[in-house]
Amino acid sequence: MDLVIVTGLSGAGKSQAVNALEDMGYYCVDNIPPAIIPAFVDLSKRESEGFSKLAVVTDIRGGSMFEEILKVLGDLKEKGIKYKILFLDASNDVLIRRYKENRRKHPLCDTRDVSLSDAVSLERKKLSRIRSDADFYIDTSLISSAQLKAILTEMFLKKAEEGLRILCKSFGFKYGIDVDADNVFDVRCLPNPFYIEEFKHKTGLEKQVSDYVMNSQESERFRNMVFAFADVAIPLYIKEGKSQLVISFGCTGGKHRSVAFAELLCDYLKRKGYNASAIHRDIIKS
C-alpha cells in the first residue's frame, strides 16, 4: 500500500495537495486524528476493492490529538507499514496574507487566544520535528495551485521502486531563493541572453538561447563542475536513503540561464538512468 501522510502549516496548500493526489487515484481523507491512521490503514487493507493508494491529512486542527503524531508514526514503523510524509510550508508573511484574504480563523487563534502572527509562529514551532522527518517538502509561497499540482504529479505518479527522484529547478533570485532546494547553483556569473535583443523575450527552453548560454569557456567549465558534483553526490544521497533531491539553478529573472542549466542537468541525469525531471518556477514571470 502506498500511504502518504500530508501535513504542514495551516494555509500552506494542503487542501490543494489532497485534491491533486485524489486526481492521481489516491483515496484521500482530510483532518484525521493521528491515532486513527493505523486503524484506517487496516480497514483499507480489508476492503474488497483493496485501496492501493491512501493519502491522509493530519495537522494542528486536531488539537491535543495531533500531539500523538510522532508516537503514531513510530507505531506504523513497528507494524511494518511504510509511509511517506509530505510537508507543505510557506513563509509567515504569505500565510498571514492568505488568512486575511479568505477571512478564515487560524486554528490556534481560538484555542490559544493569540494573534494571527503569533499563531503562525507557534504552529511552525510545534511542527518543527515532523518537518525535519518529512520525505517531501514543498514551499508554496511563490507557486500557483497549477504549479503545485505539477510538482505533486511528478512526485507521486512515479513508482517507489524507481528510487531517488531528482528535480532540476530554475528560479529567479529577484523573486526569492528556491527554499525547496537541497543544492543551489548561482549562474548569474555566466553570459546573459537578456541583453541580446533577439533572445530577450525567449527562454532557456529554446535551443538558440541555450546554445548562447553554453557558448563560452566559463559556461563549459561550470557545466562540467555541475556534472562532476552530480556524479559524486547523487550516489551518496541514494545510499543515505533520500527520496527526493532538489538541485536548483538561479539567475536574475529565472528565464534564461537557470532554465538552460536545469534542462541540461536533467537531460544528463536521464541519460545516466536517474529518475529526473525539470521544473521552472519563474519562467513566465520575467
Domain end call among 137, 157, 177: 157
Instruction: Identify whether residues 9 and 151 lie together within a single domain.
Output: yes
**Three-point CA angle 141, 63, 115, nearest 5°:** 55
Which amino acid does the sequence have at 114? Answer: V
| 5 confidence band (pLDDT: 50, 70, 90) | very high
- Count Cα atoms within 13 angstroms, Cβ side, for 148: 24
Q: What integer pLDDT is reported at residue 160 of this predicted model? A: 40
Domain end call among 126, 157, 188: 157
Positive or negative, the CA dihedral 266, 85, 153, 176 is: negative
Percent of the chain with pLDDT over 90: 69
Better pLDDT: 246 or 23? 246
Closest CA to 57 of 10, 111, 24: 10
| Number of domains into which the chain is organized | 2
Instruction: Identify whether residues 99 and 237 lie together within a single domain.
Output: no
Instruction: Identify whether residues 226 and 100 lie together within a single domain.
Output: no
Instruction: Identify whether residues 33 and 150 lie together within a single domain.
Output: yes
Q: Which three cell numbers stand for residue 123?
A: 504552529
255 contacts 174 by C-beta, under 8 angstroms: no
88 contacts 14 by C-beta, under 8 angstroms: yes
Q: Which three cell numbers stand for residue 237?
A: 544521497
Domain end call among 96, 131, 157: 157
pTM above 0.85, yes or no: no
User: Which DSSP helix (H) or strand (E) runs through 56?
Assistant: strand 53-57
In a domain, 109, yes or no: yes
Q: Is the pLDDT of residue 23 over 90?
A: no
Q: Does residue 50 come out as left (phi exceeding 0), alpha (psi in the -120 to 50 range) or beta? A: left
Q: What integer pLDDT is reported at residue 114 of this predicted model? A: 86
Q: Which three cell numbers stand for residue 110?
A: 481560538
Cα distances (angstroms) measured from residue 56 to each of 49, 65, 202, 243, 276: 18, 15, 42, 19, 27
Instruction: Identify whether residues 72 and 208 lie together within a single domain.
Output: no
CATH of the domain at 84: 3.40.50.300
Residue tagged 547553483 (cell numbers): 185
State mean pLDDT over 217-222: 95
Cα dihedral angle (40, 45, 47, 53), rounded to 10 degrees?
Answer: 80
Which amino acid does the sequence have at 154? Answer: E
97 contacts 149 by C-beta, under 8 angstroms: no
Instruction: Identify whether residues 142 and 217 lie together within a single domain.
Output: no
Instruction: Identify whether residues 145 and 172 lie together within a single domain.
Output: no
Instruction: Identify whether residues 121 and 218 lie together within a single domain.
Output: no
Beta strand pairing status for 2-8 and 27-29? unpaired
In a domain, 286, yes or no: no
Q: What integer pLDDT is reported at residue 140 of this predicted model? A: 95
In a domain, 145, yes or no: yes
| 241 confidence band (pLDDT: 50, 70, 90) | low
Instruction: Identify whether residues 153 and 227 lie together within a single domain.
Output: no
State mean pLDDT over 22-32: 90
12 contacts 90 by C-beta, under 8 angstroms: yes
Its domain, for residue 260, covers 165-280
Q: What integer pLDDT is reported at residue 286 of this predicted model? A: 59
Average pLDDT, the chain: 90
Q: Which three cell numbers stand for residue 89?
A: 510550508
| 159 confidence band (pLDDT: 50, 70, 90) | very low
256 contacts 187 by C-beta, under 8 angstroms: no
Burial class, 135, CB count within 10 angstroms (exposed 0-12 / middle 13-18 / buried 19+) = middle
pLDDT tens string 76-129: 999 999 999 999 999 999 999 999 888 788 999 877 778 999 999 999 999 999
